[in-house]
């Protein structure tokens, strides 16, 4: 009985220690979280021209593959966006409100620029989620719901 109780206590102590967050990360501002590491798509739903696509990292039922997409935000309000085809485009970014729940990117594509408006943004340790909308250079309206995680 004593051995079982000691074992249970040891497991509990290690479990609690493993679940604590890194204080260097939890004290970061939203800007520091956003610019700390590149972001990859964990899950997304995209509605463009009445066509719905979905993606969940590791799923075999995806209708599109976002495994290679990477978004990097720099602290000087610039960044890079590597799309699913491997093309990299530069952008500028800024928060639009004091709560930092709205974000705007202006992406420079070879065919013209696109303004991407992020809404209902959540920025936490290893979690960047929300929705966004934009109009493509060809005029298609796009609505996206997403969750991104830090690139390992």
The domains of the chain, with CATH numbers, are 27-150 (2.40.128)
Angstrom distance (rounded) from CA 64 to CA 84? 9
pLDDT (mean) for 83-92? 95
pLDDT (0 to 100) of residue 25 = 54
Residue 136 has pLDDT above 90, yes or no: no
| % the chain with pLDDT above 90 | 70
Angstrom distance (rounded) from CA 21 to CA 38? 20
Nearest to 130 by CA among 95, 78, 106: 95
Nearest to 114 by CA among 140, 88, 96, 95: 140
**What's the pTM value of the predicted model, to 2 decimals?**
0.79
Cβ 121 vs Cβ 105: under 8 Å: no
Residue 7 has pLDDT above 70, yes or no: no
pLDDT (0 to 100) of residue 114 = 85
């Amino acid at each position: 009985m004593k051995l079982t109780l000691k074992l249970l206590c040891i497991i509990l102590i290690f479990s609690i220690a493993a679940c604590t967050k890194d204080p260097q990360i939890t004290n970061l501002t939203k800007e520091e979280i956003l610019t700390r590491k590149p972001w990859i798509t964990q899950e997304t739903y995209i509605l463009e021209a009445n066509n719905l696509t979905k993606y969940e990292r590791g799923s075999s039922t995806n209708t599109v593959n976002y495994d290679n997409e990477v978004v990097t935000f720099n602290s000087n309000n610039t960044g890079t966006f590597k799309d699913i085809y491997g093309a990299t485009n530069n952008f500028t970014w800024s928060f639009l409100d004091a709560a930092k729940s709205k974000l705007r990117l202006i992406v420079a594509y070879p065919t013209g620029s696109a303004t991407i408006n992020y809404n209902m943004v959540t920025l936490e340790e290893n979690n960047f989620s929300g929705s966004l909308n934009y109009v493509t250079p060809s005029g298609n309206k796009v609505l996206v719901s997403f969750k991104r995680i830090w690139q390992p």
